[in-house]
Amino acid sequence: MISRITNSEVNKVNSKSLVILVVPCFNEEYRWVLDYWRSISKIQDLKLYFVNDGSSDGTSSKISLLLENSHHVLLELPKNVGKAEAIRFGFHHAFAEHPLGIGFLDADGAFPFDDVQTQLNVFRKLYHHGDIPVAVWSSRVQLAGRSIERRLLRHYFARVLVTILAMRFNFRIYDTQSGMKIFPLTPTLKACMKAKFKTRWFIDLELFLRWRFEANSDLNIWEEPLQGWKDIGGSKLSGRQYLTILQDIKALNSYQVEIPKHQG
């Protein structure tokens, strides 16, 4: 594990507003945009935990360029364990800092800077103005005036899949798979992160079902529509990955709990 922190930068972070985003990274060298991440890394009261998930390329070297004179962190996994477990690994390290919230953000740069900033602002606003902790999930809703660029076949496949899962598990989340989510730091969140994930692709939904199991109620979710988003090259699903998705759906069925009438 590698961790580089400078005290001068840490002192600039407001612990009462701190949000930590875990960024799972696997072989990102050739699609890594340094200027993008430099912009994200300068967002106020945000700390990034990059988790290098056993990459075989120069991912660590790319990330390390951001760490000089920075409060951000790079964690190294010796072998590839998959996105879900890389995120869980990052969460466990982030818990020790007692932030306001912990979330994750895809490493591919699909989320515009303004949207990352907006999601963080919405989370803090809801956290400080509500009685019940609220998780903020980004949502790729193709509304007029927005720039959401998704491959049609993949989009339609996802919509059919989410509809089936929503009927099976009784939830009303539009976009379960969008790659930026922020959770309030609570004992329930820590409980949800104790055990290894049973799925590789459905960490979002598995977390939702674990929360239901641990709290006997649904996670209170606010879906915030994105202004922009685009598929990034290198993220195309393969035939083997579709098989993994089917296996993941089977694994989700192991969460046999009483289903509330309404998702909160």
Q: Torsion over CA of 196, 119, 21 and 100, rounded to 10 degrees?
A: -90
- Weakest mean pLDDT among 133-137, 179-183, 233-237, 238-242: 233-237
Amino acid 29: pLDDT: 95
Average pLDDT over residues 45-74: 95
CA distances from 102 to 14, 75, 174, 218, 225 (A): 15, 16, 21, 18, 19
Confidence band, pLDDT 50/70/90 cuts, at residue 257: low
Average pLDDT over residues 54-66: 95
Q: What is the pLDDT of residues 75-111, one digit of tens each?
A: 999 999 999 999 999 999 999 999 999 999 999 999 9
Q: What is the pLDDT of residues 220-246, one digit of tens each?
A: 999 999 999 988 765 555 557 778 888
Q: What is the pLDDT of residues 68-80, one digit of tens each?
A: 889 999 999 999 9
pTM (whole model) above 0.75: yes
Amino acid 70: pLDDT: 92
How far apart (Å, rounded) are the C-alpha atoms in residues 228 and 93?
30
| Phi, psi of 212, deg, nearest 5 | -60, -40
The superfamily in CATH containing domain 1-109 is: Spore Coat Polysaccharide Biosynthesis Protein SpsA; Chain A (3.90.550.10)
Higher pLDDT, 250 or 152: 250
Average pLDDT over residues 32-36: 95
CA distances from 121 to 72, 126, 185 (A): 19, 9, 16
> Domain boundaries in the chain?
1-109, 111-264
